[in-house]
Amino acid sequence: MKPFGKKSLAMLLLSCMMLVASGCGSKAADTKEDTAAAAEAPAKQEDPIKVVWWHSMSGDVGKAAQQLVDEFNAGHKDIVVQAEYQGKYDESLNKLKASLGSDSGPSLIQVYEIGSRFMIDSKAITPVQQFIDADKYDTSTLEPNILNYYTFDSKLYSMPFNTSNPILYYNKDAFKAAGLDPEKPPATYEEVAEAAKKLTKPGQAGGSFAIYGWFMEQLFANQGAELLDNGNGRTQPAASSLLSSDAGVKTLDWWKKMVDEKSMLNLGRKTDDTSKAFAAGQIAMTLDSTASLRSIVKSADGKFEVGTGFLPKADANVKGGVIVGGASNWILNNRPEAEQKAAWEFIKFLAEPKSQAEWHINTGYFPITQKAYDEQIVKDNMTKYPQFQTAVDQLHQTEPNLATQGAVMGVFPEARQLTETAIEEVLNSKKTSKQALDDAAKAITSKIEEYNKTVSK
């Protein structure tokens, strides 16, 4: 092979250098293109904030709650609410107590109204008032008598969600047959007793009230009477029970007399038992929650017409009213700030007129916002169930005071059980009203004292 000349070698080296330069240029161009492409690519979307909501709603009510959760999640891509049923109110609260001090608890929890004092004393929550103030959230359209219960020291600690109160249910057909005005339900203790006598006949008693501490609490408020000292536990923490006051003795004496006269049946502690007896025509009057209205009306469909009246008063001239029952939602303060804010967004959604309208017609609970009554589905529902107007009127006519605002104590579940035991003892002729209520009041006061010692440490 002929060796390269100097000129040929120079040309070869120049060609190699051009190839190398060309390769480097191509790599640099590719890098610039990759960088530009990366800049144009959308940034990686962050995962939505997860809000775990513990609740105590099962059956159809649970389905209605999940429907609201699904609607919220569909409209909020940056937040996902995970609803978790935790059993009945007592069970759920006990699970929360066990989770305190750890990260195993929820972001948000539904707690029944009588758990409010414990929730505040636990120091485990962020009052919703903080979010209301920061957001300049307008609460003026929310029902004042509902907000009243969950307000302490002019601060709203939790947002009401499912709200009810007790009303009188009566059999209009039975009233007609007994010569009573079916459009005029009995409004006082005396009128109830008189009607019960006239309604009692073979196979039908005048009525039956379940042995339920909630009813006793409501009958106190309807007399303008406080259940606890220190302004029902609202001006300062309660120290003692007032269960054995005149209001309690008067109520239990009235109830016991009707049972003794056999115009009122004692069917025990379960409202399910009294509502079944009512639907079967075995009793002509009963007390139950407004949340039971739809089921009670449906159960009587084709058999008799259901009438509704206000909770009876001991004295028509005494100002009083009903206390809201049900539950509210509380935000836990051990969750990250972003998670708490996301929980607040869900709370606001639940309070919207449309949400409350859906919740009301699917469950029977009160709307917590007055604007829900403007929704067409609520208007249609009121036409179908005109009996619900009684509940609305009773709520709006309730006189706001410390009695109707509702008692608060950290041992309310235990106090309610002790109250029911006292009622049972009286109706079963084991003790007089005064004796049974005195004993229960002492036991409740003792539990309050023990509780107060634990929260003052």
pLDDT at 177: 97
Q: Are 338 and 191 within one domain?
A: no
State pLDDT tens for residues 282-307.
999 999 999 999 999 999 999 999 99
Q: Are 106 and 129 within one domain?
A: yes
Task: Indicate whether 23 belongs to any domain.
Answer: no
State pLDDT tens for residues 96-154.
999 988 888 999 999 999 999 999 999 999 999 999 999 999 999 999 999 999 999 89
pLDDT at 104: 87
Task: Indicate whether 59 belongs to any domain.
Answer: yes
Q: Are 268 and 355 within one domain?
A: no
Task: Indicate whether 304 belongs to any domain.
Answer: yes
pLDDT at 81: 98
Structure-token pair, residue 130: 């903080």
**Counted domains in the chain:** 2
State pLDDT tens for residues 315-338.
999 889 999 999 999 999 999 999
Q: Are 91 and 142 within one domain?
A: yes
State pLDDT tens for residues 236-252.
999 999 999 999 999 99
Task: Indicate whether 435 belongs to any domain.
Answer: yes
What confidence category does residue 2 fall into, taking pLDDT thresholds of 50, 70 and 90?
very low
Q: Are 174 and 294 within one domain?
A: yes
Task: Indicate whether 275 belongs to any domain.
Answer: yes
What confidence category does residue 45 fall into, taking pLDDT thresholds of 50, 70 and 90?
low
Three-class SS of the chain: CCCCCHHHHHHHHHHHHHHHHHHHHHHHHHHHHHHHHHHHCCCCCCCCEEEEEEECCCHHHHHHHHHHHHHHHHHCCCEEEEEEECCCHHHHHHHHHHHCCCCCCCCEEEEEHHHHHHHHHCCCEECHHHHHHHHCCCCCCECHHHHCCCEECCEECCEEEEEECEEEEEEHHHHHHCCCCCCCCCCEHHHHHHHHHHHCECCEECEECCCCHHHHHHHHHCCCCCCEHHHHHCCCCCCCECCCCHHHHHHHHHHHHHHHCCCEECCCCCHHHHHHHHHCCCECEEEEEHHHHHHHHHHHCCCCCEEEECCCECCCCCCCCCCCEEEEEEEECCCCHHHHHHHHHHHHHHHCHHHHHHHHHHHCCECCEHHHHHCHHHHHHHHHCCCHHHHHHHHHHCCCCHHHHCCCCCCHHHHHHHHHHHHHHHHCCCCCHHHHHHHHHHHHHHHHHHHHHHHCC
Q: Are 106 and 250 within one domain?
A: no
Task: Indicate whether 31 belongs to any domain.
Answer: no
CATH code of the domain containing 441: 3.40.190.10
Whether the pLDDT of residue 23 is over 70: the answer is no
What confidence category does residue 28 fall into, taking pLDDT thresholds of 50, 70 and 90?
very low
Q: Domain residues for 256?
A: 166-321+411-455
What confidence category does residue 377 fall into, taking pLDDT thresholds of 50, 70 and 90?
very high
Contacts of 249 (CB under 8 A, 6+ apart): 433, 434, 437
Q: Are 220 and 128 within one domain?
A: no
Question: Mean of the pLDDT values across residues 1-19?
Answer: 40
State pLDDT tens for residues 86-109.
999 999 999 999 998 888 899 999
Task: Indicate whether 404 belongs to any domain.
Answer: no
Q: Are 94 and 129 within one domain?
A: yes
Whether the pLDDT of residue 44 is over 70: the answer is no
More confidently predicted of 31 and 225: 225
Question: Mean of the pLDDT values across residues 262-275?
Answer: 96
**CA distance linking residue 61 with residue 331, whole number of Å:** 22
Domain boundary among 349, 366, 397: 397
Question: Mean of the pLDDT values across residues 72-82?
Answer: 96
Task: Indicate whether 308 belongs to any domain.
Answer: yes
Whether the pLDDT of residue 368 is over 70: the answer is yes
Which range among 211-215, 398-402, 453-457 has the greatest average pLDDT? 211-215
Whether the pLDDT of residue 370 is over 60: the answer is yes
Whether the pLDDT of residue 29 is over 50: the answer is no
Question: Mean of the pLDDT values across residues 29-57?
Answer: 66
Q: Are 183 and 278 within one domain?
A: yes
Question: Mean of the pLDDT values across residues 339-367?
Answer: 96
State pLDDT tens for residues 155-192.
999 999 999 999 999 999 999 999 999 999 999 999 99
Q: Are 73 and 117 within one domain?
A: yes
Q: Are 266 and 362 within one domain?
A: no
Q: Are 195 and 131 within one domain?
A: no
Question: Mean of the pLDDT values across residues 58-75?
Answer: 96
